[in-house]
Amino acid sequence: MAPRQTGSRKRKAPALDAAAAGSSSLGSAAAADGDGPLPPKKPKRPAARRSLLHYLKGREVGARGRAGLPGFEGGLRGYAVQKLPELLRERELALGTLNKVFASQWLNARQVVCGTKCNTLFVVDVQSGQITRIPLMRDRGPGSARAQPSCGIHAIQLNPSKTLLATGGENPNSLAVYQLPTLDPVCLGDRHGHKDWIFAIAWMSDTVAVSGSRDGTVALWRTDPDMSHGSIAWHNDAGLPVYAHIRPRDVETIPRASTNPGNRKVRALAFSGRNQELGAVSLDGYFHLWKARSNLSRLLSIRLPYCRENVCLTYCDELALYAVGSQSHVSFLDPRQRQQNIRPLCSREGGTGVRSLSFYQHIVTVGTGHGSLLFYDIRAQKFLEERASASPHFSPGSARRKLKLTCGRGWLNHDDLWVNYFGGIGEFPNALYTHCYNWPEMKLFAAGGPLPSGLHGNYAGLWS
């Protein structure tokens, strides 16, 4: 990453990594002998290699000349989405002594930005393993709150055009916005905002973001386009970056539940671009829906079928469906249907919970608290299964096993707490608190750390 420059000189932002596009030309057809002119021969199209392996390798190296097969490629892409998980292989990434990765997003073909429990924002190069730490924005005034122990950065989201990144500040109650690709600070939402940690963030447009907090509120923030359109990173006399301090345009409070009024913490958010609606999950076991315009107007609140540890939420625009992860289930919600037609799926991972969720087409990826990745086909309403040849216990007529990718050991700090309270257990499964796909490159980044709150450790892996 390029170092910042002070002063008024402009700098050119580094371009995002991309596969180089190739071009080729076909020679003209040879003339044919005969009595009269023959119609020119059509250029010969290279024979298409219709296999998943060649398709995946082509995406990896930037294959040329695929534009002539749009229908076939579209069908093959859908097929690849279903078949990719069984082809993925892990390469662990070393993160040093960082503690538990809670959030991650791809920035480009080789860089992933992550946030940790130890309140560190960093970019990891998945090819070289290099880690670059990003300075956190600080609240205005000398008495600003610092990061509290056992808190950290729980959310990172990019706006639709991938020109802005929203996450937490040095004070975990504040919303920080950075410019991409330079990661220069743009603004900090530290005025009249949340009074407790930010757990979730969702972008409604390129300039409007929503944050959900442990204080039971949802805040709507608007960034001024003029803040980020300049190519100059402004600094004060001490050489520190200068950024705006903003306040929310709207703050809405989660309604109190009669069953558990003290636990209405907002844990996850998901935005529906098709319906312009914002979904939220609170720890008291409810799903909430707002109409998102210049402010937030609450439409409904639904009691979830499984109420323990509802900590993750995702939305699929194609299916108009929300998915909620809880201690042992994933529930599917269509707010417009009074009767839910898709039955919940059970993760059956030792009660360690669903810790991360993502939707792509008809496949749901589930990151569990037991260090595994599961894949659910929403159309078939069943988990993807191992190939018969991949299972050593397979015999003709027997049921195939559920496809499960198990992550590596990661790193665990063998401190006094580990010795005294966990009996020096050598290994703990890593909870996969976050995962994100790079679909053009057919790669999956997953990260997390040990599930017990007192243990210090981390895991990160690139699956490709």
Element (H, E) at 298: strand 296-303
| pLDDT tens, N- to C-terminus, the chain (464 residues) | 444 444 434 444 333 343 333 333 333 333 333 444 455 555 555 555 555 555 555 555 444 444 444 555 656 666 777 788 888 999 999 999 999 999 999 999 999 999 999 999 999 999 999 999 999 999 986 555 555 555 899 999 999 999 999 999 999 999 999 999 999 999 999 988 899 999 999 999 999 999 999 999 999 999 987 765 544 455 555 556 789 999 999 999 988 765 565 678 999 999 999 899 999 999 988 999 999 888 899 999 989 888 888 899 999 988 889 999 988 889 999 888 877 778 888 876 656 789 999 998 889 999 999 999 999 998 888 888 887 655 555 555 556 788 899 999 999 888 777 777 777 666 778 999 999 999 888 899 999 999 888 889 999 999 99
Backbone angles phi, psi at 427, to 5 degrees: -135, 140
d(CA 219, CA 157): 15
Q: Answer left, alpha or beta for residue 239, where phi above 0 means left and psi between -120 and 50 means alpha.
A: left
d(CA 461, CA 421): 28
| Contact of 86 with 123, CB cutoff 8 Å | no
Contacts with 332 (C-beta within 8 Å, 6 or more apart), sequence order: 321, 322, 323, 324, 340, 342, 344, 378
Q: Which two tokens stand for residue 414?
A: 């063998």
The pLDDT of residue 135: 95
Count Cα atoms within 13 angstroms, Cβ side, for 152: 21
Give 3-state DSSP helix, strand, coil % of the chain, rounded to 5.
Answer: 10, 35, 55
Cα-Cα-Cα-Cα dihedral of 24, 26, 27, 32, to 10°?
Answer: 170
Q: Which two tokens stand for residue 122?
A: 């960093």
In 3-state terms, what secondary structure has residue 404? Answer: strand
By residue count, the chain amounts to 464
The pLDDT of residue 179: 95
Separation of CA 231 from chain center: 27
Q: Which two tokens stand for residue 194?
A: 């949340």
The pLDDT of residue 395: 55
The pLDDT of residue 156: 97
Query: Which among 279, 275, 300, 293 is positioned nearest to 218, based on CA atoms?
Result: 279
- Number of neighbours of residue 396 by Cβ within 10 angstroms: 5
- Angle, alpha carbons 326-332-337 (nearest 5°): 140
Contacts with 95 (C-beta within 8 Å, 6 or more apart), sequence order: 101, 124, 131, 411, 458, 460
Secondary structure of 59-87 as H, E, C letters: HHHCCCCCCCCHHHHHHHHHHHHHHHHHH
Global pTM value: 0.79
The pLDDT of residue 125: 97
